[in-house]
Amino acid sequence: MANLKLTGVRKSYGAVDVLHGIDLDIRSGEFVVFVGPSGCGKSTLLRVIAGLEEITGGTMTIDGRVVNAESPKQRGIAMVFQSYALYPHMTVYDNMAFGLTLEKGTPKSEIDRRVRHAASILQLEPYLERLPKALSGGQRQRVAIGRAITRDPKIFLFDEPLSNLDAALRVQTRIEIARLHERMHGTTMIYVTHDQVEAMTLADRIVVLNGGRVEQVGRPLDLYADPDNLFVARFIGSPAMNILPVEGEGAGRLRLGPAGSIAVTPGSRLHLGVRPEDLRLVDDAARALVSGTVTLVEPLGEVTLVYVDLGDGGEPLVAKLPGAVHLERGTSVHLAAEPAALRLFDEAGHAVRAERRAAA
């Protein structure tokens, strides 16, 4: 059980500022996922939390205790990396026990208890006497996780632990990590991934990072439904939310759903966001949000992704339509969306939320 609090945490390498003041409050037992583009500082933030890197500024506390100067071990943190270097000449058992045997004073019986406990959590019992080369990639990754579990950490850090696995194994190991978190209730976990599905399914809360800053922190479905800004709107969800430029022609109110609307001033420039799955085909241009020409059709079975050129010189819009839809390149289409599904952002990219009218 450990609560982790970061206040104004900064990290520079020489003149290169990588983290620009990170504030985060991670609750005991929470599963938090860091996402963000390559180079935004996810691994650096994990390494800083682990104590593998010194911070340049700010404060980090665990359960209220300032840990800025503590080693990873003193912090009670274990980290699992993307490339899980197991010792090839050691059995699974010895790989998991190795870190503990290095420490003076942990009795053999205690080491044995911890290794067997980790093996049972990870269903590795049948493989304890095997060498790593006789394991699948997923099993090896579980041994690497097992090695972290034997250290009985209060906080677990994972840096893209599944990215070397093939698609099927990723899914299986992802489910195992979710179970692991359940079984080790109370253990705080922080997990970095590029994978949207891992982020959405594993996280109690997602932290979206961009250029060394936090863009938004929230529950997965809240980020998906109600992003604070254009960056998060584009980053969470695949294919990404469509963003269309809109300009207020006259003063008035733009209706967003049955109970909400926003005031539009003449000449104001806004960005309108609509998720691919919220678009549907309509016959009539008058009822459409947008009209254009199909440039690409990707049938995925369950759904078909249809890319539509709106003739405005911008990116094609993507619609996620039912799998049975038959459309060809060059076809003209009209697409509509429910007003409640539309999201608006101001010129600076901040969400403009509808004013809710009291239900009549």
Ligand X SMILES: Nc1ncnc2c1ncn2[C@@H]1O[C@H](COP(=O)(O)OP(=O)(O)OP(=O)(O)O)[C@@H](O)[C@H]1O
Residues contributing to the site for Mg ion (CB under 5 A): 43
The token pair at 277 is: 């799955």
Residue 38 Cβ vs ligand X, minimum distance, rounded to whole Å: 3
Q: Which of 32, 35, 41, 215 binds ligand X (CB under 6 A)?
A: 41
Report in angstroms how near the CB of residue 37 gets to ligand X at its nearest: 7
Identify what 322 binds: Mg ion, ligand X, none; CB under 5 to 8 Å per kind: none
Smaller CB separation from Mg ion, 18 or 233: 18
The upper half-sphere exposure of residue 151, i.e. CA atoms within 13 Å in the direction of its Cβ, equals 24
Contact between 38 and ligand X (CB under 6 A)?
Answer: yes
Q: Which is nearer to ligand X, 19 or 317 (CB)?
A: 19
Distance CA 47, CA 41 (A): 10
From the list Mg ion, ligand X, none, pick the one residue 320 interacts with, judged by a Cβ distance below 5 to 8 Å according to partner type.
none
Q: Given the rule CB under 6 A, which of 12-20, 226-234, 256-264, 276-284 is the region that contacts ligand X? A: 12-20
- Residue 211, SS3 per DSSP: coil
- Could you give the CA distance from residue 285 to residue 1 in angstroms, rounded to a whole number? 57
Q: Round to whole Å and give the CA distance between 146 and 150.
A: 6
Closest CA relative to residue 165, chosen from 205, 129, 203, 193: 193
Report what 13 binds from Mg ion, ligand X, none; CB cut-off 5-8 Å by kind. ligand X
Crossing angle for the helix pair 108-121 and 92-102, to the nearest 10 degrees: 130
* Least separation in angstroms between CB 45 and Mg ion: 9
Q: What's the closest the beta carbon of residue 43 comes to Mg ion, in angstroms?
A: 3
For tokens 């500022």, the residue is 17
- Residue that the structure tokens 């938090």 belong to: 32
Residue 146 site contact among ligand X, Mg ion, none (CB < 5 to 8 Å, cut-off depends on kind): none
190 near ligand X, judged by CB under 6 A = no
Q: Which of 18, 35, 223, 241 binds ligand X (CB under 6 A)?
A: 18
| Torsion on CA atoms 105, 64, 159, 127, rounded to nearest 10 | 40
User: Does 87 engage in binding with ligand X (CB under 6 A)?
Assistant: no
Closest listed residue to residue 244, CA positions, set 112, 337, 154, 133: 337
DSSP 53: S
Residue with tokens 């005031």: 263
Question: Is residue 227 a contact residue for ligand X (CB under 6 A)?
Answer: no
Instruction: Work out whether 42 is an interface residue with ligand X (CB under 6 A).
Output: yes
Binding-residue pattern over the window 193 to 222 for ligand X, x denoting contact by CB under 6 A: ------------------------------
Among 9, 44, 75, 174, contact with ligand X (rule: CB under 6 A): 44
**Smaller CB separation from ligand X, 130 or 194:** 194
E strand or H helix that includes residue 10: strand 4-13
